[in-house]
Each structure stands twice: as structure tokens, then as C-alpha cells.
Structure 1
Amino acid sequence: MGKKTKLSLAMASLVLGTSLVGCDDGRSGAESAVKDLASAVSALDVGSVAFEGKDSASANEQLRNVFAALDPQKPAVQPGDLTLDGDNASAPLNYTWTFGDSEWKYAASAKFKKSGGEWLAVWDPATLVPGLADSEILSKGSQSPPRADILGAGDVPLVTYRPVVDVGIDKPQLGAADPAAAASKLATLVGVDPAAYADQVKAAGPEAFVRAITLREEGRTVTNVQIAAVPGARAIPASVPLAPSRTFARPVLGAVGEATAEQIEASGGSLTAGDVTGLGGLQQQYDKQLRGTEALIIRAQRADLTREQIQAAATDPRRTLFEVAPAPGTPLKTTLDQRLQALAETTLADVGPASAIVALRPSSGAVLAAASGPGSNGYNTAMLGQYAPGSIFKMVDSLAMFRNGLTPDSKVACTPTLAVDGRTFKNSEGYPESSLGSVTLRDAFAHSCNTAFIAARDSVSQAQLEAAAMAMGLAVEAPTLGAEAFLGSVPGEAAGTEHAASMIGQGKVLLSPLSAAMMAGSVAKGAPVAPQLVLNPDAGAPAAGTANGSTAPAAQPSATATGEAPASASGQPITAAEAASLSDMMRAVVTSGHAGFLSSVPGAPVGAKTGTAEFGNETPPKTHAWIVAVHGDLAVAVFVEDGGLGATTSGPLLKEFLTAAG
């Protein structure tokens, strides 16, 4: 290439480069400034943004004051298309604020000016909210609609607004009285900690009403006269969502109260301090359905505007920027029967250890009562308890044995003891000698012969035992339940002493009282029962969990609305003929076995199975007490932790419940 050619190319490159520089009118720098401002406002922190007309620290403080009432929400801010005019530029900032299910969207114009080769954002409060003046901030008002009821069978309100009184010290009414002394006196009267309440009253501001306790109006024994005798004390009428009694189905239904710190953190901004929400149980699981949508109003107002000035003004001095009308929640319909639930709780009232009574209707799967006794200390033993079922699991054994060709009249060997791999199994204390030897399966079942069922382990594999459990609705998903529950765990593999223990409902076999009632219900129905508690779960509510054990099978197809459980993935669901044979043997437990005390229960004949499950390492071992029964279209399970024998501990509780249930 010659020198002339090289010179021509160099000149062309210089001309082209000069042309490109001339086309850069500053747009890229301005666009970068717009993006930086949008990102900073999204974070509600413009401390790093260079402004024209205001220092960054002052601008940042004003921004935070403007939006302080919206905390903890932050906006999502997206920049729009830039308009460039020499050393001036502008672009819209598109804001999106999210409040629960509601979105507030608007666009505000941001201006920029080029100074000393740098693009600066021009400070203007209207960049934050259109039309916002320099002296203005935002305020947020909200009001929750009345919380929807939780309904029981027949749409009877279980949790509904009931009258209460908030009892506390109204500090402006104290006069010259000593706040601590008045607080201690009131606390003693209403039964709260005097020292802790006195500290609350002393720490509260001079205009505060400091609540000591909320009392149900119905049946309260502390009178208004007694309260008024304490300096500064008041009883303020109110109404709050409550069940029929303080303990009524509390572990199942949950409660309503101020959101906890953990709930607020997990809510993604939909809950803030002081918000009322569901606490545990169905109230928390279906909070969104029950709570509805609260009214929300966001206004612009002078920063120095007081509540008194607002109330005194002829017209509201604030201007509304965004408003959401309240939407009431939807009542949650359940199958709980108020009378039977209360009866179950009364039946367990004097039981010391953790305990439960579950009653369901086999024909539909409706859970009528799920009571956990006072010894459960608020835990949902009825639905979430995980315990070895003991001999009530012989119902599953028997189904597996039927499928291997046996009938209730088949002969089995009932020996006093049986050794398996060096471990000796025996029958319960007091086992009748007349039912030892070669006896019918019915007789072995009626008297709960452990050795006869353990001896069947060679012909009933662990996999067959698992399949029989699933055939009765155990350890499979229950899509229609609508609440968290443990529905059983039966290992598919076990050998030696573990397989032998499984045959008498021990080892790694676990049931809850709910799943035990389902097992009995499947006998009464002649098909597996799919339990149902919640009838109208909101489509947006969390999925109704079914907490199965780690050995439980994968989720099964959805149950039908008639309470029919899904077919087991491992085989055929229990048939009407198989259920009839089990029903025959359960009736024998009452007519000739050790549940004869149930023969006097009026109405339909009762069929039952008792269970005593050993646990722990003590000698002799402690035992859980179980009994399940069917009585017409009612299936019931009664459980007492560390309760001794099923027949002598849980049996009388079952009789009391069935007799009163009618």
C-alpha cells in the first residue's frame, strides 16, 4: 500500500470519528442518570444521587419523610423514555406500590440538567408523587372489614363476633392516684401478673389506655362495679371473633389476634404491627379468605397537619391519591358439629395426659369432632399426633390375612408367648386362658391375641401390611380434608423383630387419632374414607396439607366429593365384603371380648377394637391407651397418652361419649 493510500484512510478515519462524536448529544449520560435515579428511589435511598438545587443528604431525608407512612412497602420504579433538549432532559418515572392484593400505579416526571459535563437530577417533590408540594408528606389510613365467621355443620357459627369488655387502666382518669398501685390492684382483680402489668402501665404514655385483659361479656364474674372501684380502671365494650368457649376446638380453629413478628416478616408487607390476623389452626391457614381486603386510603397532606386540625376543618384539608374499598371475607364452612365437639371436650376434661377424641361420619368423611384434651397443652393431638397404635392396628393385619385366604372363622394359634429373633412377645396381662390354643381369628381379634397375629408374619409380608393400611385410607393423601393432619405412616419394608412389632401396631407404625377414626370408618362404610373438614377452601388459600410420615406413599388422585378415598397405588381398596368380615370381628370385641361394657350403648350395635401400645425403655414399659368404634354412621377414636390399657382407660371415655352422642 502506498503512502498516499495510507494517508487517505487515516483522513477517512478521522472524519468518521469526528462525525460519531458529533452525534453523541449527551443522551447516553442522561439515560444513565435517569436509571440511577429510578433505582435509588426504588430503594428509598437517594443519598448517592447528585442533585441540582439540593444536597443529596437533605433530599434523602425529605424523600424518607414523604414516604414514612407507607413503611415497610417500597415502590418498584421503572424509567420511561427520555426527552432531551440541549443541556436539559426529562423522563417519566413509573411507580408501582403493592399493598396486599392492591397496586397503586402512577407516573411522575423527573427533570435533569447538565452541569460541568455531568447530568444532575433536579430536585422536586413532584418527582416522587405528581403535584406534591415541598411541605407535604403522604399519610396512609386503613380499616379492616369485619372478619368472616367460621361455620360448623349446618352452617352454625362456631367463630363469630361475640361481646367482650377490654379491661384496663385509662391513665388520664388516674388523677392523683399512683399508677403502679392502681395497676396492681386491677391485675389482682382480673387474674393477670400484677408486677408485669404495673410495669406496662408505668411505661405507657400519659394519654394511654393500657389493657390488662379482654373478658367475654357472657358469664364474666368480674363486674363493672368492681372495676370502677379501682382508680383509673375502665371496662370498654367491644366485640371480637370468638368460639363458643375459650377451649372450643382451639387447636383446630386457631385464634385471632395481633400479628406476631414472625408473621409480619413472612407476609411480604401485607401485615404490619397491630394488624389483626389468624393465629394458628384454620384461622391462620385461611386468614386471607376470612380477613377479606381492608380499606386503604393514601393522602397527601401538610407535614405539620394535626389530627385536631383535620377534625376541626369544614372540609378535609388532605387530598386523596389512592383508595381501595373494603371487601368482606368469605365465611369458612367446616363439618365440625358444635354439640359433638363440645361433648368430646367435656369427656376429656379430667384426663391428665395428652388425649384426643375424633368422631367422623363414614358415609361422607365429615369430621364431626376433633378434640384434644387439656393435657395436650394446646397441641392438636387429635389430628397431628403421631403414636404407635398398638392392637387397633390388628384391623389392618386382619385385612391382609383375609387377602391371603383367611376368614373370621379360620383357626389360628394363640400361644402365651412367642419368640422372634431372641425377643419374646407376650399377650397383655389378664389374657383369658380360654382363648389360648387353636382359636378362630375372630376370637383372637376379640381378645387381642398378640402372639396369633405376630405368628402370621410369615404369611403377611410388610409390603402386604402397608398395602392393607393404604386400602383402608391410611398413609395416603386426603385432598378433601382442607387442614394439616398426620394420616399415618406404615413402612413398606421391615424384617425380623421390626416386622413382628408391626403386626401389633408397634415398631415404626404410627397413627394419629384422626387416622384411627378413618380406619374404623372405612369398616363402617365398606370403602376407604376420605376425611373432610373444610367445605369451601378459598382457591387462593394455601394448599390443605396432609402431613404423612416419611414412609408414606406419594400423593394419590383427588378424592371425590362423596368422601370416597383414592385407590391405593399398591392395590385394591377395602371392599364391602372385607369390611363386613372386619365388622363381624369388631362386633365380637363387644359381644365376647374385653369391650363388653359397650354393649349397653343405646342405638345401633357397637363394634370396637382396643389397643395398648408400649413406648419408652422403662420396665414394665409405659403404654398408650387406644380404642376405636363404629356406631351406625359414626366412627370414633379415643386416645390417651401414657394411659395404661385401652379397655380400662380409653374404653370408659368412649362409652361416655357414645352414650351422650345419641
Structure 2
Amino acid sequence: MSRAARAALPTLAVLALLTGGLTACTDQDAVAKEAADAFAAGLSKGDVAATAGRSAQAAYAELSRPLGDTEPEVRVEQVGDGDDERSVALAWTWDLGPGDSTDLGYTTEVRFTRDGDTWRPTWAPAVVHPDLRDGEQVDVRVLRAERGDILGARGARLVTARPIQTFGLDKSRIEPSQVRSSARAVARFLRVGVPAFVRLAEASGPKAFVEALALRPAHAREVGPAFSDIPGAGVVRGTRHLGITRDFAAPILGRVGPVTAEIVEKSEGRYRAGDQAGLSGLEARYDAQLAGKPGAALLALDADGTERTLAQVEATAGAPLRLTLDAPLQQKAESALATLPRSAGVTALVAVRPSDGAVLAAANGTGNNGLDAATYSRYAPGSTFKVVTTLALLRAGLRPGSTVSCPRTIDVDGKDFENYDDYPAGGYGDIPLATALANSCNTAFVGERDKVDGSALGDAAASLGLGVDHDLGAPAYFGQVPPPEGETELAADTIGQGKVLASPLAMATVAASVAAGTTVVPHLVAGVEPTGSAEPLTPAESRSLRSMMQGVVANGSGRVLAGLGGGVGAKTGTAEYGDPRPDGSLATHAWMIAFRGDLAVAAFVEKGASGSQVAGPVLVDFLS
């Protein structure tokens, strides 16, 4: 309830208490206590006329005018002894936010004098605060906490306070009649939404600086000097919590900005208009940790507006959020994706350290338009999934040298499965399983489907970290391998189509598990380190899978990585999607997963002819 509303409450009971209603009372302790309580209640709601008189009311109203609707809670802490004069201690509390962190409290003393059976307070500025002087006003201010940094590997500051220049409209420098035209000119010059900025400018206070665009210094130089010719146009230099670059891990880290009306409404008093908060990504999920706790200050303002602090509760800085992201590797991954044209659509690259599961890079291409495809997208993994199918076949009794048949086509319940267009002509016929994986023979894996029926594919996927959900500490999708419904779906599943889905993070985890020889459970946020419970790889299985993936590079579809040296293992993948084109063909996703030393990676390109042609060069750039 506002001060104005509360001031309108009936005061007859209080007047009766102080004038004639207690004349018969001989207990002056009780009378003095009731008078003190009534005065404290009046201070709390901004109305002391009934208890201290109209002159005190006028003085209190002027003294507290800067407070607006902000009201204290005032209660009687102690009433002293005395026949005609008593000292009353008042406990003041200014509740400026949720919780106790912004509760500013102190004690004042007020002298009450007795007039018959009535006790009246003596008004003075010291009633509000002991150090308040005549002619001063009081105001309260929330002290914003310093936001915690987001740290990466080796303590690198991924997000921290960095210089920023904010361009906008300074309404204090123009007449009210100029606001609309200047706001329109500012928005047009800076190429921001004109109608929205004009509405914001007109709704802001008469002295407000209305932000239109915030730029890092390097980009701010691109705003020409003609901007200053616009009446009211201004630039404010300061700092803001920003990533290493504008695009650095942006979909994952998220951003900080002014709270929306919806955020304020749902915050239960934690946020107020004008506050900054995490709006997306990790900045939003861990906002309470990063934001810290605000403090508060009670200020004295003299006639010139000069401030001095009467009481203060210091703000508590936010705690840093520690991630496993490696800044140089993240930037290298983003640079590798930048070589792809925007026509490639959604692109992503994820790198995981096999030895401990740390996510070292989770990069999204510029064509993603803010989508976190790296950790949270859902796509058919295509032939990269054949690593999973190979593990299921090994568990069914096959060995890398076991013979499998690779025909040109294979019919499953009326549906023809065939190999990709540039499949090596000499790769058909009876071939070793290792060769089928190296050349990525679709028909060979489809032909062995009877050995991986039921839960075999799902169990093998879980052993390689795919299809088992857990908390990464950030939004993540680890894929799905549901039990197949029918022979055709099982056939499609064996080559990473059907209902099999994965994210680049999930497929990087598959490569990491092969490299580590155990199920890798990735983690990104310090303190969030889940464990897996899938059937572990045996030493023989891990040796076979590593050798066979190395064979993909040495002798198969992954030769594009051969120049990186020995020990590199990989698997390419192409997954069909969408409706048939006029010629009957389907669009394809391009994938490639690989490991090299203690690094496992997955690259994804939404619109690509094949994994080796499109995703392969991205991994070459990254792993070089």
C-alpha cells in the first residue's frame, strides 16, 4: 500500500487514545507505551499528524519526499522511565529487497513529554536517523552486487566486466517536445527498431538516459561522429559482463541484460525495474549464484542534492561459475565453423577430454541464430552411429576380421537400402567387419541386423555414453535409441537413421568413450559431475573399436584426417532427412567424429553432401 493510501486511514482511534480516552488511566507506563506504539505506526505509514501534530507531519513529509512509496518498518524497542519526560528507542528497518541482505536497520531516540494523561513526541530530524541534520532529506538506495565471473579451464575469465560504450538518448539535455523526434533519429542512425525505441524513450523518466545500443570499444568506433549532431544523443562509457568476444560460446553462456516485466513479476521481489539479470543460458540458470546479494544505503540529501551516507549494508559479490571450457579450443572450434558458408545451415563442434569427460569446446556456427545445437540439438547421427552398431556386433560374437556381406542394395520388407553415391567400387562383396566400418557400408550393417535386435543397440549405445540422460549442469541432449518397431526400423537404426537421434555432444561422447576405453560421462559445470551405470567396455572391445576407427582414417572414408599423424581414429556420417526432392533424392546432414590423443570431437553440418567432404575439413582445421 502506498504512503498516500495509508495516510488516508482513519485516525479517530489514535486521537481518542491521545486526547480523552485515557484520562481515567493511572498506569503511565502503559499510556506512554501505547503513545510510542502509535507514533511508530504513524512513522511506518508516513502519517504522524495524529500523534505529533501537523507541523511534524509537514516536516516528515518534506524530509521523506525522495522516498516515494518506499516505507520503513518502525517499532518501539524500549520506553524509558520518567514522570513527565521519557526517552523512547525506535528500531527502524528498511526492507529494500527479498531476504535479509537488503534489510537496513538502526535505532533512534525520540523524547516524549507528558501533558496530563497524554504523552507527545518531540519532532526532530534525528527521529529518522541520529545523524540527520535540519534541512536534509532522506533517500534509500539499493547497492548492486558485483556479478560473479564465468571462468573456464585454468581460471580463464570467459565472462567478466569488460569496457562498453552505450549509445542512446539523454532526455536531460533536450526539451520534452524534442523527445519523439530525437528518439526517432537516434534509432534510425543506430539501426535499431524505431517504434520500440520511441515508445521506450517516451515512457522513461524526464532525466533518463535511454539505451539504444551497447558496443565494445572496437565496434563503437564504427559509429560515426555525426551521431553527436542529433539533439540529446549521448554515449555512456562503462563496463558490462561480456564474453571474450561477442559470439564466444554465446548460446551456452547466455547473456545479461535489463529485466523484463515478466521477470520482475515472477521474481517475488528479487528484481525491480532497471535491474540486470541473466536472461538466457548459464547466466540465467545460475543467476542467483552469479548475481550475489545486493546491499542498501540510507542517504542524506542537502538542498544542493549532495549525498552523504547515514547507514549502509554492503553488497555481497556474486560467486564465480567455473566451467571446463578451454578458451583457446573454444575459439579454435568457432573459427573452424566460420569457414562454412551460411548455406550450410546449423553447424556445431564439440570437444570432450576422454580422460575425465571435461567438455573443452561447445561451438555453434553463425548460421544457428542463437540455437545451442552443440549440446541440445536432436538429429539423426547417420553412419557415425555405426560405431555403436559395431560394438553391438562385437558383443554378438563378431570380430574385426569377421566376414560380412556388402551388396549394392538390400531389401527389408519392401524397402531398399543402398550405399552412398561415391562408395568405393571395390568395397562390395564379402569383406571384414573392419572394412565395412572403414568404408561405411550401409548394406553390410543392415544385413547383420538380426544380431543386434531387441535392446542390443540401446545397451551398446549406453556403454558409449549415448542415450542415457544426466545433468550436464547446462541444457544437454544425450540422444535416444528406442527399441525398434519392426524390421525396417531396426535396419534403419543400424545405420543411424530410423528413430535414433543424437546431439554433437552425444556423438563426441561416443568418440571419447572409444578413446578412453570406458564409458565417458561428460561434464561442463564444476560441481556437477554425474556418474554412469552402463555396462562397461571390456579391454578387448575398446582395443577393437579404437583400431577399427583408426582404420577409417588409414584406409576408409576418414582419409581427410590422415595428415594429422598416427593414432587418429574417426567415423564419417551422412544422414538423410526431410521430404524427397524433385529427383527423388533427400537432403543430408553431414557428421564426423574423431579422437586424437586426449581429445575427442564431433562436427555437425545441417546441410552437407557427406561427412568426409563437409564435416571432415572442419575437424582438420580444429585438430591441426
Which residue number in structure 1 is paired with residue 590 of structure 2?
Answer: 625
Q: Which moved more, 1:639-648 or 1:97-106?
A: 97-106
Alignment of 1:196-345 (within 5 A): 196-198=196-198, 200-201=200-201, 204-222=204-222, 225-297=225-297, 309=303, 311-312=305-306, 324-345=313-334
The alpha-carbon deviation at position 351 of structure 1 amounts to: 3.8
Which residue number in structure 2 is paired with residue 589 of structure 1?
Answer: 552
The alpha-carbon deviation at position 174 of structure 1 amounts to: 3.9
Say which SS state the counterpart of residue 52 (structure 1) adopts.
Answer: helix
Corresponding letter in the other structure for 1:248: F
Q: Return closer, same or farther for 1:107/1:257 CA change in 2, 3 Å cut-off.
A: closer
Q: Is the 8 A contact 2:145 2:317 kept in 1?
A: yes
Which of 611, 614, 627 lines up with 2:576 in the alignment? 614
Say which SS state the counterpart of residue 99 (structure 1) adopts.
Answer: coil
Q: Return closer, same or farther for 1:73/1:156 CA change in 2, 3 Å cut-off.
A: farther
Which residue number in structure 2 is paired with residue 567 of structure 1?
Answer: 533
Corresponding letter in the other structure for 1:530: V
Q: Is the 8 A contact 1:526 1:577 kept in 2?
A: no
The alpha-carbon deviation at position 262 of structure 1 amounts to: 2.9
Say which SS state the counterpart of residue 489 (structure 2) adopts.
Answer: helix
Q: Return closer, same or farther for 1:45/1:469 CA change in 2, 3 Å cut-off.
A: farther
Which of 394, 414, 420 lines up with 1:402 in the alignment? 394
Q: Return closer, same or farther for 1:501/1:73 CA change in 2, 3 Å cut-off.
A: farther
Which residue number in structure 2 is paired with residue 355 of structure 1?
Answer: 347
The alpha-carbon deviation at position 294 of structure 1 amounts to: 0.9
The alpha-carbon deviation at position 47 of structure 1 amounts to: 9.9
Corresponding letter in the other structure for 1:575: T
Q: Return closer, same or farther for 1:209/1:146 CA change in 2, 3 Å cut-off.
A: same
Corresponding letter in the other structure for 2:548: M
Say which SS state the counterpart of residue 475 (structure 1) adopts.
Answer: coil
Paired with 1:616 and 1:470, the residues of 2 have a C-alpha distance of 27
Alignment of 1:55-454 (within 5 A): 99-100=98-99, 102=101, 140-174=140-174, 179-194=179-194, 196-198=196-198, 200-201=200-201, 204-222=204-222, 225-297=225-297, 309=303, 311-312=305-306, 324-349=313-338, 350-352=341-343, 353-454=345-446
Q: Return closer, same or farther for 1:527/1:406 CA change in 2, 3 Å cut-off.
A: same
Paired with 2:8 and 2:488, the residues of 1 have a C-alpha distance of 70
Corresponding letter in the other structure for 1:243: G
Task: Say yes or no: does 1:652 pair with 2:617.
Answer: yes
Q: Which moved more, 1:207-216 or 1:366-375?
A: 207-216
Alignment of 1:23-34 (within 5 A): none
Say which SS state the counterpart of residue 583 (structure 1) adopts.
Answer: helix
Q: Is the 8 A contact 1:163 1:218 kept in 2?
A: no
Corresponding letter in the other structure for 1:52: A
Which residue number in structure 1 is paired with residue 55 of structure 2?
Answer: none
The alpha-carbon deviation at position 61 of structure 1 amounts to: 8.5
Say which SS state the counterpart of residue 234 (structure 2) adopts.
Answer: strand
Paired with 1:365 and 1:218, the residues of 2 have a C-alpha distance of 36
Task: Say yes or no: does 1:510 pair with 2:509.
Answer: no
Paired with 1:400 and 1:170, the residues of 2 have a C-alpha distance of 67
Which residue number in structure 1 is paired with residue 489 of structure 2?
Answer: 498
Per-residue CA deviation, residues 162-203 of structure 1 (Å, 9 max, x unaligned), is 111111222343479955554444434433245544554455
Q: Return closer, same or farther for 1:71/1:515 CA change in 2, 3 Å cut-off.
A: farther
Paired with 1:224 and 1:295, the residues of 2 have a C-alpha distance of 39
The alpha-carbon deviation at position 380 of structure 1 amounts to: 0.6
Paired with 1:131 and 1:73, the residues of 2 have a C-alpha distance of 12
Say which SS state the counterpart of residue 166 (structure 2) adopts.
Answer: strand
Which residue number in structure 1 is paired with residue 480 of structure 2?
Answer: 489
The alpha-carbon deviation at position 446 of structure 1 amounts to: 0.9
Paired with 1:482 and 1:54, the residues of 2 have a C-alpha distance of 61
The alpha-carbon deviation at position 599 of structure 1 amounts to: 0.8
Q: Is the 8 A contact 1:166 1:215 kept in 2?
A: yes
Paired with 1:394 and 1:437, the residues of 2 have a C-alpha distance of 19
Give TM-score, length-normalised by structure 1.
Answer: 0.73
Which residue number in structure 2 is paired with residue 23 of structure 1?
Answer: none
Paired with 2:303 and 2:358, the residues of 1 have a C-alpha distance of 57
Q: Which moved more, 1:628-637 or 1:98-107?
A: 98-107
Paired with 1:517 and 1:403, the residues of 2 have a C-alpha distance of 22
The alpha-carbon deviation at position 620 of structure 1 amounts to: 1.7
Q: Return closer, same or farther for 1:395/1:47 CA change in 2, 3 Å cut-off.
A: farther
The alpha-carbon deviation at position 594 of structure 1 amounts to: 1.9
Question: In percent, how many aligned pairs have the same letter?
Answer: 40
Following superposition, which runs of at least 4 residues in structure 1 exceed 6 angstroms of deviation?
44-51, 58-63, 65-75, 93-98, 105-108
Say which SS state the counterpart of residue 218 (structure 2) adopts.
Answer: coil
Say which SS state the counterpart of residue 218 (structure 1) adopts.
Answer: helix
Paired with 1:620 and 1:286, the residues of 2 have a C-alpha distance of 45
Q: Return closer, same or farther for 1:341/1:73 CA change in 2, 3 Å cut-off.
A: farther
Paired with 1:295 and 1:635, the residues of 2 have a C-alpha distance of 46
Give TM-score, length-normalised by structure 2.
Answer: 0.77
Q: Which runs of 5+ in 2 are unaligned?
A: 17-41, 48-60, 76-90, 108-120, 122-126, 130-135
Q: Return closer, same or farther for 1:271/1:180 CA change in 2, 3 Å cut-off.
A: closer
Corresponding letter in the other structure for 2:255: A
Corresponding letter in the other structure for 1:150: I
Which residue number in structure 1 is paired with residue 517 of structure 2?
Answer: 526
Say which SS state the counterpart of residue 455 (structure 2) adopts.
Answer: helix
The alpha-carbon deviation at position 476 of structure 1 amounts to: 2.3
Paired with 1:310 and 1:490, the residues of 2 have a C-alpha distance of 71
Q: Return closer, same or farther for 1:62/1:357 CA change in 2, 3 Å cut-off.
A: same
Corresponding letter in the other structure for 2:284: Q
Paired with 1:466 and 1:72, the residues of 2 have a C-alpha distance of 60
Q: Return closer, same or farther for 1:422/1:337 CA change in 2, 3 Å cut-off.
A: same
Paired with 1:193 and 1:577, the residues of 2 have a C-alpha distance of 62
Paired with 1:287 and 1:453, the residues of 2 have a C-alpha distance of 47
Which residue number in structure 2 is paired with residue 580 of structure 1?
Answer: 543
Task: Say yes or no: does 1:643 pair with 2:608.
Answer: yes
The number of equivalent residue pairs is 549
Q: Return closer, same or farther for 1:184/1:273 CA change in 2, 3 Å cut-off.
A: closer
Q: Return closer, same or farther for 1:174/1:457 CA change in 2, 3 Å cut-off.
A: same
Per-residue CA deviation, residues 379-415 of structure 1 (Å, 9 max, x unaligned), is 1100000111111111111111111111111101111
